[in-house]
Amino acid sequence: MQWCELCNGVSELTIPCIQCGKEMEDQGRIYDYYENYSPYMEIDLIKLEDGDPTSSKRQECVHLFKCRECGFDFPKTIAYQPPK
């Protein structure tokens, strides 16, 4: 069972920006930015469209983080955790 704590709202993650040091915010799954209907697609299905032939086999979710101050963004891989 694939389960991302960030997607399910069980936990939050903020990280420092590597450009300016200010706090970055989670903008959600990077897959949601692919096309108009991406946010409504199953994660296993959308992973088949990301250009990485092995991503659907890995127990992880990629989130986009964006700096509140300078606007720098980057993807961060989040490992799946079993539901609590």
Tens of pLDDT along 4-51?
A: 888 888 888 989 999 999 999 999 888 777 777 666 666 666 666 666
What domain range includes position 72?
15-79
Which letter, b or e, does each residue of 49-76 get, where b requires 16 or more Cβ atoms within 10 Å of its Cβ?
eeeeeebeeeeebbbbbebeeeeebeeb
Q: How buried is 47 (Cβ within 10 angstroms: 0-12 exposed, 13-18 middle, 19+ buried)? A: buried
Residue 7, domain member (yes or no): no
- Six token digits for residue 69: 């101050």
Tell whether 3 is covered by a domain. Answer: no
- 41 domain residue, yes or no: yes
64 lies in a domain?
yes
For residue 28, tell me if it sits in a domain: yes
State the Cα–Cα distance between residues 84 and 76, nearest whole angstrom. Answer: 23
In a domain, 6, yes or no: no
| pTM of the predicted protein model | 0.75
pLDDT at 32: 78
Residue 1 lies inside a defined structural domain of this protein: no
- Determine the pLDDT at residue 56: 67
Task: Count structural domains, the chain.
Answer: 1
9 assigned to some structural domain: no
